[in-house]
């Protein structure tokens, strides 16, 4: 049987440990093509590069495996892989990750990892974003194994047009299974530290902690806090239909 072709991307850059761990695991059953930003691109949101040209460089990722380093954003990487590097080939799935740091609740909208998977979805491909919920915990094995399992399920079941899966794997030794969740309502209690540079000029640095508002494991934030892998189906249809119905009465 022909192996599926899976495009892998991320936002931590092609040299990150997370994308290497994911690539190694997925290669066990699929042909893998990697196109990822050449450098770290966290919190870029769904940026694309329009005003500038983009260069692409073939780069050794490990042993004899080469990926493509894209001088652009996560979404650029997916777009350029689909339109040019893999042109004419049938891509069966896009996986973005494994990101270091949670992409739950409001973080989803700032996430380059999710944006790469969103771009896959926009281009008509089933797509999954995978994050490990810690910046310091570096054991990607549970996340890579679950990504592999979910990839097989999605390859079999498919996903609705316009829908992608956002996966968050708790950074713990033993995860307590996986659950389909909703995007949490938690937000950031953020602020700026005001500092002075050596010439006594002010600069600002973003700081803050998450305001946890989600009480049940039906929401991504709480699920990962309880050691459960969270899988949230998300889409990019942003219309607020409920308010749309009410607002139709406004006199504009």
Tell me the C-alpha distance between 66 and 28, whole Å: 16
Tell me the C-alpha distance between 239 and 62, whole Å: 43
Tell me the C-alpha distance between 56 and 80, whole Å: 9
- Residue with structure tokens 């659950």? 179
* Nearest distance in Å: CB 153, a second copy: 7
Kindly state whether residue 75 participates in binding a second copy, applying the rule CB under 8 A.
Answer: yes
76 backbone dihedrals φ, ψ, rounded to 5°: -55, -45
* Nearest distance in Å: CB 19, a second copy: 19
Q: Which stretch binds a second copy (CB under 8 A): 30-38, 46-54, 90-98, 129-137?
A: 46-54
* Nearest distance in Å: CB 211, a second copy: 11
Query: Which of 23/121 has CB closer to a second copy?
Result: 121
17 backbone dihedrals φ, ψ, rounded to 5°: -65, -35
Cβ neighbours of residue 114 under 8 Å, at least 6 residues apart? Answer: 96, 103, 108, 129, 164, 166, 234
Residues 130-149 that bind a second copy (CB under 8 A): 149
- Angle, helix 17-26 to helix 141-157, in steps of 10 degrees: 50
* Nearest distance in Å: CB 91, a second copy: 16
Query: Which of 55/89 has CB closer to a second copy?
Result: 55
Q: Token pair for residue 88?
A: 């004419």
Query: Which of 62/236 has CB closer to a second copy?
Result: 236
Tell me the C-alpha distance between 131 and 211, whole Å: 20
- Exactly one of 66, 89, 109, 138 binds a second copy (CB under 8 A); which one? 109
- Exactly one of 3, 65, 176, 190 binds a second copy (CB under 8 A); which one? 190
Residues 191-250 that bind a second copy (CB under 8 A): 191-192, 194-195, 201-206, 229, 231-244, 247-248, 250
């Amino acid at each position: 049987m022909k192996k599926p072709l899976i495009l892998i991307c991320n936002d931590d850059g092609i040299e990150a440990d997370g994308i290497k761990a994911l690539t190694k695991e997925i290669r066990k059953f699929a042909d893998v093509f990697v196109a990822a930003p050449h450098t770290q691109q966290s919190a870029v949101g769904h940026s694309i590069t329009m005003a500038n040209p983009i260069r692409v460089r073939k780069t050794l990722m490990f042993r004899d495996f080469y990926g493509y380093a894209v001088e652009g954003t996560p979404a650029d990487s997916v777009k350029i892989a689909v339109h040019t590097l893999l042109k004419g080939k049938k891509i069966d799935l896009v996986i973005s990750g494994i990101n270091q740091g949670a992409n739950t609740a409001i973080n989803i909208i700032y996430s380059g990892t999710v944006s790469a998977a969103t771009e896959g979805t926009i281009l008509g491909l089933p797509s999954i974003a995978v994050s490990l919920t810690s910046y310091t915990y570096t054991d990607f094995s549970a996340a890579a194994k679950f990504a592999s399992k979910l990839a097989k399920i999605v390859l079999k079941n498919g996903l609705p047009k316009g829908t992608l899966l956002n996966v968050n794997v708790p950074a713990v030794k033993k995860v307590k299974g996986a659950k389909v969740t909703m995007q949490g309502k938690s937000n950031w209690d953020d602020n700026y530290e005001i500092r002075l540079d050596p010439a006594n000029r002010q600069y600002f640095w973003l700081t803050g902690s998450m305001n946890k508002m989600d009480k049940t494991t039906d929401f991504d934030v709480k699920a990962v806090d309880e050691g459960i892998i969270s899988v949230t189906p998300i889409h990019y249809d942003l219309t607020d239909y409920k308010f749309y119905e009410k607002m139709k009465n406004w006199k504009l």
